[in-house]
Amino acid sequence: MTGMLGAVDRVVAELALFAAVVILLGGIDDLVMDLVWWRVRKPEPHRADAPAAPPLPLAVFIPAWDEQQVIGAMLRATLTRYDHPDYHLYVGCYPNDPGTMAAVAAVAGEDRRVRMVVGTRDGPTTKADCLNQLWRALVEDERAGGRTTAAIVLHDAEDLVDPDELRVFDDQLRDVALVQLPVVPLVDTRRRLVSGHYADEFAESHRRDLTVRSALGAAVPLAGVGCAIRRDALDRLDGGSGAPFEPQSLTEDYELGLRVAALGLPARFVRWRATAGGRLIATRAYFPDTIDTAVRQKARWVAGIALSGWDRTGWGPRRHGAEYWMRMRDRRGLLAVAALVAAYLALVGWGAASLAHLVLRSAPTPFGRGLRVLLTLNTALLCWRLSARARHTAAEHGWQEGWWSVPRAPVANYIAMLAARRALTRYLATLFGAAPRWEKTAHHFPEQLPSGS
């Protein structure tokens, strides 16, 4: 029994060593990102202080599959909230989704700025396929004598749009081809641990990460909402195919930003306030609030970015150190999950072995000095990471949510581990010929708009 227990001690030590090395590398990577962000961050401009740019004719693309519960409220709220004189909403539907079509048709009958586009194939296909249907409808409308569109704005059926976002696009698209605004997840206080972990992650990525990427000249991946791309850029991506969005991609928005960068076109992440100390101009939405739905959504992100997206986009066409760094960060998720699994197994194994040693009155195998040093460094980096994330969350959502970000961290880890397993399964299925499908989750639109939004 003692010999078997010694073997368990050695396995625990090896698992801990693997986890500690990978987590240390990830912690250093995040620390460097923090330091760069402190160096490049700038005060957030106020739109109220900027001279008004001439309005651009814009088209807002909204793909919708099985969205009858939210699409009507979203469209009416969007038409009410936008402060812009020249835009149209193109809503993509499927012929086998009568509920969504009826909800869109009702709004289109009230406002001519809403254009329903019904695809030729039954759904669900992929989101990119639906976007391509909208693109072809826009091109046909222009050929039939309609207005010429300067840029395309992307949104989802559950989004709460910002009143000022189109005005920001008017200003920014004069000298860049692509603009991404922040995304701020709304926290459902009834399910704060799951819905709130999105708030933590987006606060960090859309306050720190995208700011650094934009400042260093790396590609700016799109979030699929709250973003705009100039018409000439989409024409180049189209190339006469009628499909500027990659129809086989599970994360066409992420890849779109990388493809625009590959064309040598400039992109920008923009954080503006409506007024001094006022509302952040951003897209707000409720994200999944249960473990199952969060895992399904994140599995699509992992499969699309870290697996199949890597196959298509590689490391980029140009030698650019910042680009390599950012793409490495995008794809480190599976390795980080492997380290998390090893760390939790080591923790459970260490606890069980310690109890067994206590019962048998035997001495546990001591950890080596190197492993003790690694664990000490990782503890310090973990404390820094949790405090930094809490500060980012507090800056976007207030200090109550900032404090909640700490207990949400293990919940986020649990979701990430389940999502990685599901993503790997889906990716392997595509390697054997399975078609990518739009595996969406149910959405809800806020019944009462948040104050200040």
Confidence of residue 352 (pLDDT cuts 50, 70, 90): confident
Give the dihedral sign, CA 379/383/386/388: negative
Main-chain phi, psi angles of 267, to 5 degrees: -135, 165
Q: What is the pLDDT of residue 315?
A: 77
pLDDT of residue 251 exceeding 90 = no
Whole-number percent of the chain with pLDDT over 90? 68
Q: What is the pLDDT of residue 319?
A: 67
Residue 72 within any structural domain of the chain = yes
Tokens coding 104 = 């869109």
3-state secondary structure of 115: strand
Confidence of residue 28 (pLDDT cuts 50, 70, 90): very high
pLDDT of residue 1 exceeding 70 = no
Q: Are residues 203 and 312 in the same domain?
A: yes
The CATH number of residue 184's host domain is 3.90.550.10
pLDDT of residue 447 exceeding 80 = no
Concatenated DSSP letters of 277-315 = T--B--EEEEPP-SHHHHHHHHHHHHIIIIIHHHHHHTT
Confidence of residue 450 (pLDDT cuts 50, 70, 90): low
| Helix (H), strand (E), coil (C) string for 21-80 | HHHHHHHHHHHHHHHHHHHHCCCCCEHHHCCCCCCCCEEEEEECCCCCCCHHHHHHHHHH
Q: Are residues 228 and 153 in the same domain?
A: yes
Between 15 and 52, the more confident residue is: 15
Residue 441 within any structural domain of the chain = no
Cis peptide before 124 (omega within 30 of 0): yes
Q: Are residues 88 and 62 in the same domain?
A: yes
What's the whole-number mean pLDDT along residues 140-162? 93
Q: What is the DSSP letter of 207?
A: I
Q: What is the pLDDT of residue 145?
A: 80
Confidence of residue 52 (pLDDT cuts 50, 70, 90): confident
Confidence of residue 216 (pLDDT cuts 50, 70, 90): very high
Q: Are residues 45 and 34 in the same domain?
A: no
Residue 10 within any structural domain of the chain = yes
Predicted TM-score (pTM) of the model is: 0.91
Q: Are residues 174 and 205 in the same domain?
A: yes
Residue 27 within any structural domain of the chain = yes
How big is the chain by its Cα radius of gyration, in Å? Answer: 24
What's the whole-number mean pLDDT along residues 407-436? 87
Q: What is the pLDDT of residue 31?
A: 97
pLDDT of residue 441 exceeding 80 = no
pLDDT of residue 121 exceeding 80 = yes
pLDDT of residue 382 exceeding 80 = yes
Q: 322, 346, 364 — which closes off a domain?
A: 322
At 98, the amino acid letter reads: P
**Among 142-146, 226-230, 241-245, whose mean pLDDT is lowest?**
142-146
Q: 322, 355, 383 — which closes off a domain?
A: 322
CA pair distance 76, 80, nearest whole angstrom:
6
Tokens coding 173 = 């698209």
pLDDT of residue 15 exceeding 60 = yes
What's the whole-number mean pLDDT along residues 68-94? 96
Q: What is the pLDDT of residue 453?
A: 56
Q: Are residues 18 and 84 in the same domain?
A: no
Residue 376 within any structural domain of the chain = yes
3-state secondary structure of 257: helix
Residue 84 within any structural domain of the chain = yes
| Helix (H), strand (E), coil (C) string for 148-183 | CCCEEEECCCCCECCCCHHHHHHHHCCCCCEEECCE
Q: Are residues 183 and 314 in the same domain?
A: yes
pLDDT of residue 5 exceeding 60 = yes
Q: Are residues 335 and 400 in the same domain?
A: yes
Name the residue with tokens 């091109």: 139
Residue 440 within any structural domain of the chain = no
Q: Are residues 194 and 310 in the same domain?
A: yes
Between 351 and 229, the more confident residue is: 229
pLDDT of residue 438 exceeding 80 = no
pLDDT of residue 440 exceeding 80 = no
Q: Are residues 84 and 215 in the same domain?
A: yes
pLDDT of residue 420 exceeding 80 = yes
**Which tens digits make up the pLDDT trace of 306-346?**
877 777 777 776 667 898 999 999 988 888 999 999 999 99
Q: What is the pLDDT of residue 341?
A: 92
Q: CA-based diameter of the chain, in Å?
A: 87
Q: Are residues 377 and 350 in the same domain?
A: yes
Name the residue with tokens 């559950």: 158
* Half-sphere exposure (Cβ direction) of 360: Cα atoms closer than 13 Å: 15
pLDDT of residue 238 exceeding 70 = yes
pLDDT of residue 109 exceeding 70 = yes
CA pair distance 130, 436, nearest whole angstrom:
13
Please state, rounded to an integer, the average pLDDT across all residues of the chain: 90
Q: Are residues 19 and 72 in the same domain?
A: no
Confidence of residue 289 (pLDDT cuts 50, 70, 90): very high
pLDDT of residue 381 exceeding 80 = yes
Confidence of residue 355 (pLDDT cuts 50, 70, 90): confident
What's the whole-number mean pLDDT along residues 408-433? 88
Burial of 52 (0-12, 13-18, 19+ CB in 10 A): exposed
What is the residue range of 13's domain? 2-38+331-431
Q: What is the pLDDT of residue 430?
A: 75
The count of domains in the chain is: 2
Q: 265, 297, 322 — which closes off a domain?
A: 322
Name the residue with tokens 């078609």: 435
Tokens coding 163 = 């009143």
Residue 361 within any structural domain of the chain = yes
CA pair distance 350, 20, nearest whole angstrom:
14
Q: Note whether 90 and 59 are within 8 A (CB).
A: yes
pLDDT of residue 187 exceeding 60 = yes
